[in-house]
Structure formats: structure tokens, C-alpha cells
Amino acid sequence: MDLREKLKKGQIPEDLNENISVRLEQLGLLTSSPSFLPEVDRVNKYIDWVVSLPWNKRTDDILDLNRAKEVFEKNHYGLTGLKDRILEYMSVMQLNKSNKEGMARAPIMCFVGLVGTGKTTMAISIAEAMSRQFARIPFGGMGDPLDLRGQSRMHPEAEPGKVIKSLRQAQSKNPVILLDEIDRVTDEGRASIMGVLVELLDPEQNKAFVDHYLDYPFDLSEAIFIATANNTHGIATAVMDRLEPINMPSYNDEEKITIGKKYILPKALKEANIPEETVVIDDKVWSNLVRPLGFDAGIRTLQRTIFGLVRKVAKLIVEGKGTKFVINEQNVKDFIASDYV
């Protein structure tokens, strides 16, 4: 496709369109130069990026508190205090729907808790409850601010940073963007990455966020940022000033059993296309399932255990060795990893 035709297909800001058009005219003067083809490739890649971004695409918020309650109850057991905080947050958004400036200054939630306590899934539920698109930016092991802000197009392998990539993924300029594990960046890159985070979370700055690759401001003020962290010790004070920390509680054994019965097992069976009545787990077995290797604050070990159990059931069904399975103290070792019993 002709580069000019490709440019016309994108709904991009007028002045950006003009800048690229000027570059295309300059490119036309280089047809006899050995740098022509490499430059065509670079411009083509750039145009691909700018026309794929949601400059004017957004979703309509659903701020119905009853609907949100249904979503939270469907996806999360307990956490009543946390759910109420989020409903309060949505109430403020509803009251400020016509006041963009007020909306921009709403607090940015940061879920703080141990692995497996539901931080990421709660952020996904918020996006679902509000009918917004969702994107995740992982910070674990990040050591270079260019991972967020992108590289200049002067570099041969340059590309946008994770912020712009998340917008392309979401195809909406008002998604919920999860800044996941912001405390787990490397020590070497911590200061500079925290500096970019301050810009992302500051409503006075994020309305004109400049990625080095795009070299053009993108308005992030309509996005909802949610952060997660295992703890707040490694987060810069300037970043914490822009966050509202919300502690995610650990689950006790009784709560885990309820979560396993009502949420994890039905989900695992559904994903395996196995009818719920096919698997019955005896009440006496659940204590082994929730604490196979000692105390675990979250539910990830429980998830792995139950999903592994369901996979074994699926194999038995395919092999024609049964259509209903009752897991009890006598046969539980046949269904979960030997290390867990």
C-alpha cells in the first residue's frame, strides 16, 4: 500500500498528519540514495504505529453500582471493605461525569499485598464493572525507563514503550491500565523509572505524555491507572504521594476453602468443558488442598492444585475410565501431586 494512502486511513491529529506528510515529501527526494529503502521501512513502521493508536477511540463508562457489585461478587469472595472502597471511587466518578478536571484528580488506587491475594484480578474486575478495556504493564525486573517511554527513531530497532503499546492493545484512550508490581523494578533503574511514573500519574503531565518513538504527545488523562505492589518500601515518595494504598488481606484456610468450592473449582471445570456434577470433592479433603505445603497468604497454590486435579479427571474421562469422580481421603493421592499429600 502507498504510504500516503495508509496515512489517510488513520484518524490521527491533524498536525501529526502534516508532519508525516512533510517527511514523505522529503522521502520522495531520496529515491536515488542508498538510504532510501531503509528510510522507507522506518517511515512505514512509524505510520503503522500512529494509525493503529486510539487517538479518538473511547468506550462509554457504565457506572452502575449494582452491576459493579454483581461483577465483584462473581469474581471475588469476601474483601467487603475493598469492594466498598471501589464503589465509593465509582460514585465519585459518577458525580463528576461532566467534570473532566474533577475526574482527573481522582485518587489512584494501589493494591498492596502478598502474591496471590487478588491484586491483578481485582483490577481486571474494575475494568469489567465499568465496561472499560484493560491493559497491563509489568514492572517486575524493569531496569530502563525507555521500557516505558520508548526509544528515539534514530535507533535502528527503535519501538514505542510499554505505555503506548498498552494503548494499542486496548484500542481505547480511556482504558484501565494496570501498573503491575511497581515495587519490583531493578535498583539500578529505580530512580529514573519512578520519575516516569510520576509523570504518568500526574494529571497535569499525563495529558501530554511524550513517547520517544512517537515524538508526539498522547493524552492519557482519560485512562484509569491502578498500581499493585507487594510492599511500598521500594516506591519513591513522589510516586506514593499520588497513590492511595489499599491493603489486600491474606486469606485464612476457611476463606480459601470457600473460594476453592465457589470460584476456582467451577472455573477449572468450565475451562476443561467438564460438567460441574462430574467432580465431587469430599469436605475432609479440602484442608489438604488449601494447605498442601504450609501457609500461603494467597490462592495461587490452591489454583494450581485444583487445576491439576481437573486435568487428571479430564485424562480419565478421555481414557474412558469414568464419568463421575468423588475425591476422598482414600484416593486424593491419585489426583494431586505427590508432593502435596
pLDDT tens for 280-312 read: 999 989 988 887 655 566 788 888 899 999 999
- Residue 295 identity (one-letter amino acid): F
Residue 231 contacts residue 183 (beta carbons within 8 Å): yes
pLDDT band at 8; cut points 50, 70, 90 = confident
Cell of 321: 475410565
pLDDT at 292: 61
pLDDT at 122: 93
Q: Which CATH number fits domain 65-247: 3.90.870.10, 3.40.50.300, 2.120.10.80, 1.10.357.10?
A: 3.40.50.300
**263 CB-contact burial (10 Å; exposed 0-12 / middle 13-18 / buried 19+):** middle
Average pLDDT over residues 164-175: 96
pLDDT at 76: 87
Average pLDDT over residues 33-43: 78
What is the C-alpha separation between 70 and 46, in angstroms, rounded?
Answer: 43
Average pLDDT over residues 17-36: 80
Residue 228, SS3? strand
Which of the 8 DSSP states describes residue 59? P
Fold for the domain defined by 253-340 = Helicase, Ruva Protein; domain 3 (1.10.8)
- Residue 98 identity (one-letter amino acid): S
Q: Is the pLDDT of residue 325 over 70?
A: yes
State the average pLDDT for the chain.
88
CB proximity list for 44: less than 8 A, separation 6 or greater: 3, 6
What is the C-alpha separation between 179 and 225, in angstroms, rounded?
Answer: 7
Phi, psi of 60 (to 5 degrees): -90, 130
Q: Is the pLDDT of residue 339 over 60?
A: no
Residue 137, SS3? strand
* Helix, strand, coil content of the chain in percent (nearest 5): 50, 10, 40
What is the C-alpha separation between 120 and 229, in angstroms, rounded?
Answer: 10
Residue 123 contacts residue 177 (beta carbons within 8 Å): no
Average pLDDT over residues 130-152: 95
